[in-house]
């Protein structure tokens, strides 16, 4: 029985494997699957690398794994472009790499929310750098540009941004681009339509300077994303203006939560925009294969837009910090005013309570009805009591009035 060659460095396993060795190999394969995809199961090898396969298609009691699921399900489009025009209908995945090697133009294959296995499948066909492939699989990367000279591939990560005005949140997605001499592989994580818009322009022959190949597509994708950055910045500016009107307007209220949440969204926006300046600078200075002198001016324009948006984000962040401090200060003033009003009210209540205590005390003394109270039998006792009550009350009122208690 011939033992087939397996996945690790072209080595062949021995004819027989122990149970412990099979368990370890299966464990290695399971841990490696998210990065390197599933592996071929050969029915001719019931006791080789794949273990024992029973009649139900299970390997040592575990369902066997196929090499790859149908990657066509996540490919938005795949076509050949020559001299800036589409020269083919949709290509099957199996023909894309061969077409890229034959054409003088380039092949663009677009993956939409692919799994790790899907990306690995395409990476194997186009011989993409493993480290870049890992970054393309694991979303939430920082915007960056890496050049792999051995593979003659440039890898770029871009982060499209959309602002949901009704909720005042910034939605950040991700696009990874593998740019070769005769191919472009795009990996989209999220629902952004930037790539489909660029492809429609390319299919219609409207993409400017598209004869420069994949680098022109890279420029157009970056250009649209940066244009969207400016739209998001303008929308955030509108919300900051509303917050300023609320904070400094006539209506009182606590806007701290809204300011803080918007400031956090600006920070998220900043994470998507700020790191992109360095890759664009590298592109505009010719640090990437395929970026000729005529292409650099286009990347210079995109770089200028990024710098402008970056300055706008810094201004918005600083302005929100100032508005937050002003809101806190206004709340403090309002709370102090309320406390002062409450203090004034308490002083008035205390003053009137003190004035009311005088007749209560005098009436209480002479209302005890003891038999031996001299003033009760006095002819002027009643007039004396009233005069005493009025005199003391008036005196207290004048005292409190002079001290601004009343």
CATH code where residue 163 lies = 3.30.460.20
- Let me know whether 195 and 284 are in one domain: yes
Q: Residues 6 or more apart from 338 whose CB is under 8 A from it? A: none
H-helix or E-strand spanning residue 148: strand 144-148
Confidence at residue 374, expressed as pLDDT on a 0 to 100 scale: 73
Do 160 and 217 meet the contact criterion of CB atoms below 8 Å apart? no
pLDDT cut 90: percent of the chain above it: 46
pLDDT of residue 27 exceeding 90:
no
Q: What is the mean pLDDT of residues 17-40?
A: 41
- Let me know whether 359 and 252 are in one domain: no
pLDDT of residue 14 exceeding 70:
no
Given 331, 364, 385, the domain boundary residue is 331
| Higher pLDDT among residues 1 and 73, named by residue | 73
Q: Which range has the worst mean pLDDT, 99-103, 118-122, 130-134, 211-215?
A: 211-215
Q: Residues 6 or more apart from 188 whose CB is under 8 A from it? A: 76, 110, 111, 112, 113, 173, 174, 175, 195
Please, which pLDDT band fits residue 317 given cuts at 50, 70 and 90? very high
- Structure tokens given for 226: 């940066």
- Let me know whether 390 and 248 are in one domain: no
Confidence at residue 277, expressed as pLDDT on a 0 to 100 scale: 94
**N residues, the chain:** 406
**Rounded CA gap, 89 and 383, in Å?**
116
Given 331, 361, 383, the domain boundary residue is 331
What spatial distance separates the first Cα and last Cα of the chain, rounded to whole Å?
A: 110
Confidence at residue 54, expressed as pLDDT on a 0 to 100 scale: 44
Q: What is the CATH number of the domain that holds 356?
A: 1.20.58.340
Q: What is the mean pLDDT of residues 212-225?
A: 91
Do 176 and 155 meet the contact criterion of CB atoms below 8 Å apart? yes
- Let me know whether 43 and 120 are in one domain: no
pLDDT of residue 28 exceeding 80:
no
H-helix or E-strand spanning residue 284: helix 277-284
Q: Residues 6 or more apart from 41 whose CB is under 8 A from it? A: 50, 53, 59, 64, 65, 66
- Let me know whether 264 and 311 are in one domain: yes
- Let me know whether 131 and 224 are in one domain: yes
Q: Where are the alpha helices (DSSP H) in 53-184?
A: 93-102, 116-126, 130-137
Distances (CA, A) of 271 to 144, 229, 251, 267, 327: 12, 12, 34, 6, 26
- Reference 183, options 204, 154, 209; nearest CA is 154
**Rounded CA gap, 239 and 261, in Å?**
12
- 3: phi then psi, degrees, rounded to nearest 5: -90, 120
Please, which pLDDT band fits residue 255 given cuts at 50, 70 and 90? confident
Do 266 and 313 meet the contact criterion of CB atoms below 8 Å apart? yes
Given 331, 366, 391, the domain boundary residue is 331
**Rounded CA gap, 247 and 250, in Å?**
8
Q: What is the mean pLDDT of residues 79-91?
A: 87
Do 247 and 325 meet the contact criterion of CB atoms below 8 Å apart? no
pLDDT of residue 11 exceeding 50:
no
Please, which pLDDT band fits residue 204 given cuts at 50, 70 and 90? confident
- Structure tokens given for 394: 């008036």
- Let me know whether 354 and 307 are in one domain: no
Do 13 and 49 meet the contact criterion of CB atoms below 8 Å apart? yes
Going by the DSSP 8-state scheme, the letter that residue 165 receives in this structure is: T
Do 71 and 96 meet the contact criterion of CB atoms below 8 Å apart? no
- Let me know whether 63 and 78 are in one domain: no
- Let me know whether 169 and 215 are in one domain: yes
- Let me know whether 228 and 90 are in one domain: yes
- Reference 124, options 200, 49, 67; nearest CA is 67
- Structure tokens given for 63: 């369902």
- Reference 286, options 297, 276, 275, 273; nearest CA is 297
Task: Round the average pLDDT of the chain to a whole number and report it.
Answer: 81
Cβ count near 240 (within 10 Å): 19
The total domain count for the chain is 3
Using CA atoms of 284, 193, 176, 169 in order, give the dihedral in degrees to the nearest 10: 90
Coil, strand or helix at 220: helix
Q: What is the mean pLDDT of residues 246-259?
A: 84
pTM for the full model?
0.69
- Let me know whether 112 and 164 are in one domain: yes
Confidence at residue 211, expressed as pLDDT on a 0 to 100 scale: 63
| Higher pLDDT among residues 273 and 356, named by residue | 273
- Let me know whether 43 and 132 are in one domain: no
- Reference 274, options 218, 317, 332; nearest CA is 317
pLDDT of residue 344 exceeding 70:
yes
Q: What is the mean pLDDT of residues 150-163?
A: 94
Range of the domain at 318: 71-331
- 49: phi then psi, degrees, rounded to nearest 5: -60, -35
Please, which pLDDT band fits residue 121 given cuts at 50, 70 and 90? very high
Q: What is the mean pLDDT of residues 205-212?
A: 71
Confidence at residue 55, expressed as pLDDT on a 0 to 100 scale: 45
In DSSP terms, 62 is beta-bridged to 59
pLDDT of residue 147 exceeding 90:
yes
Please, which pLDDT band fits residue 193 given cuts at 50, 70 and 90? very high
């Amino acid at each position: 029985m011939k033992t087939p060659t397996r996945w690790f460095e072209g080595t062949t396993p021995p004819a027989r494997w122990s149970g412990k060795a099979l368990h370890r190999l299966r464990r290695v394969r399971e841990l490696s699957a998210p990065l390197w995809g599933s592996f071929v199961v050969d029915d001719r090898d019931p006791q080789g690398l794949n273990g024992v396969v029973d009649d139900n298609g299970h390997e040592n009691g575990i369902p066997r794994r196929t090499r790859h699921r149908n990657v066509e399900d996540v490919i938005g489009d795949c076509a050949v472009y020559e001299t800036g025009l589409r020269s083919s209908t949709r290509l099957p995945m199996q023909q894309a790499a061969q077409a890229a090697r034959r054409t003088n133009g380039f092949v663009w294959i677009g993956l939409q929310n692919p799994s790790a296995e899907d990306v690995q499948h395409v990476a194997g066909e186009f011989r993409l750098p493993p480290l870049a492939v890992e970054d393309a699989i694991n979303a939430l990367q920082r915007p960056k540009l890496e050049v792999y000279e051995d593979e003659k591939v440039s890898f770029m990560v871009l982060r499209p941004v959309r602002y949901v005005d009704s909720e005042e949140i910034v939605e950040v997605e991700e696009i990874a681009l593998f740019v070769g001499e005769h191919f472009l592989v795009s990996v989209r994580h999220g629902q952004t339509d930037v790539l489909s818009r660029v492809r429609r322009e390319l299919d219609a022959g409207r993409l400017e300077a598209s004869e420069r190949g994949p680098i022109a597509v890279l420029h157009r994708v970056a250009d649209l994303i940066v244009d969207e950055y400016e739209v998001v910045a303008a929308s955030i500016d509108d919300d900051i203006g509303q917050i300023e009107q609320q904070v400094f307007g006539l209506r009182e209220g606590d806007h701290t939560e809204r300011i803080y949440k918007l400031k956090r969204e600006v920070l998220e926006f900043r994470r998507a925009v700020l790191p992109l300046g360095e890759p664009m600078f590298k592109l505009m200075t010719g640090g990437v294969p395929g970026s000729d002198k005529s292409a650099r001016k286009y990347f210079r324009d995109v770089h200028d837009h990024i710098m402008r948006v970056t300055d706008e984000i810094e201004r918005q962040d600083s302005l929100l910090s100032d508005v937050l401090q002003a809101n806190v200060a206004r709340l403090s003033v309002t709370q102090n005013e309320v406390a002062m009003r409450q203090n004034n009210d308490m002083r008035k209540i205390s003053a009137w309570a003190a004035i009311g205590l005088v007749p209560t005390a005098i009436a209480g003394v002479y209302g005890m009805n003891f038999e031996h109270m001299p003033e009760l039998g006095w002819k002027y006792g009643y007039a004396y009591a009233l005069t005493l009550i009025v005199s003391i009350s008036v005196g207290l009122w004048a005292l409190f009035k002079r001290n601004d208690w009343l």
